[in-house]
Structure 1
Amino acid sequence: MSQHDALIEKFYHAFSSKDYKRMTECYHKELVFQDPVFGPLNYEETCAMWKMLIKAGSDLKIYFDKVDSNAQQGSVNWIAVYSFSKTGRKVQNKISAQFRFKDGLIVSHHDHFDLYKWTRMAFGPIGYSLGWTPYFQNKLRTQARGNLDKFMTKS
């Protein structure tokens, strides 16, 4: 196993154990994170996001496989299974993550998943009918970012 494979595994083992502090130890201070909901985040925002999601996800389960890396970049497939807090609906989100490394840490972390598929699971009929629209997706992003900003202010 390569050094970066071990780093990715450390991150996801910490995530599955709901240990956001150990997760953030895997990140470089110059981190750039991005996903379809939160958009681009810096190191502090990303650390707060994981802490917020872990604290809210009482039934959160994380599974991962296909860890692959070299000296510059890496990838993993992972699944998050949880009840979406706003609706109580069960979500099984399949995510593909890509990483870049600097000084033995993750400096770039991009999660990719089908946002429309996620909205259908999280919102049910409303997600089916509106989840594909830019209006709905932008509103979702705005709310997620607002929740993160509030969480960071309180922490």
Structure 2
Amino acid sequence: MHPNQILIERFYTAFQQKDFRTMQQCYHPEVRFSDPVFPKLKGAEAGLMWEMLLTRSTDLTLTFGNVQADYRSGSCDWEATYTFSATGRKVRNVIHAEFLFKNDLISRHDDRFSFYDWSSQALGLTGKLLGWSRFLEEKIQRKAAEGLHKFIQKQTQS
């Protein structure tokens, strides 16, 4: 098994155990993360995003598989099931992750999933009606960025 494949498995095993510190240690200090909700995170923001999500989560379950990697890149399929705290609605999100590596750490992490499917589950009727629209996606991205910014401020003050 390639060392970067082991790194991806370490990251997702830590994720399953809600061990955000180990997840953060898997990231390069200059990591770039992107997904439909958090499209442009850099450096410590990425690890702090996982910390925020995991410390707020009450019922997250996660599975992963199809882990592949070589010296330069890798990928993984994973699925998260949880209650979206803003609405109390159950979400089952199916995600494909792609990675780039630098100095034996994850330097780029891109999660791809259907925003429409996610918003339909997380937001109910609003997501079903507007989940296809850039308007709703940008609104969710703004709220997510604000929430992360507040979380980071709180972390730096304590």
TM-score bin (small chain): over 0.9
Gaps of 5+ in 1: none
Pairwise CA distance, 1:130: 1.3
Q: Could you say what the CA RMSD is over the residues aligned between the two structures, in angstroms?
A: 0.6
Aligned to 1:46: 46
Aligned counterparts, 1:1-155, within 5 A = 1-155=1-155
Gaps of 5+ in 2: none
Q: For 1:135 and 1:40, how far apart are their aligned partners in 2?
A: 17
Deviating beyond 3 angstroms after TM superposition, the runs of 4 or more aligned structure 1 residues are: none
| Percent of residue pairs bearing the same amino acid type | 43
SS of 2:91's partner is strand
- Give aligned pairs, total: 155
Pairwise CA distance, 1:153: 0.4
1:33-72 superposed Cα distances (whole Å, 9 cap, x missing partner): 1111111111211111000000111101111000001110
SS of 1:39's partner is coil
SS of 2:50's partner is helix
Pairwise CA distance, 1:92: 0.5
With structure 2 as the length reference, what TM-score do the two structures score? 0.96
Q: For 1:47 and 1:105, how far apart are their aligned partners in 2?
A: 13
With structure 1 as the length reference, what TM-score do the two structures score? 0.98
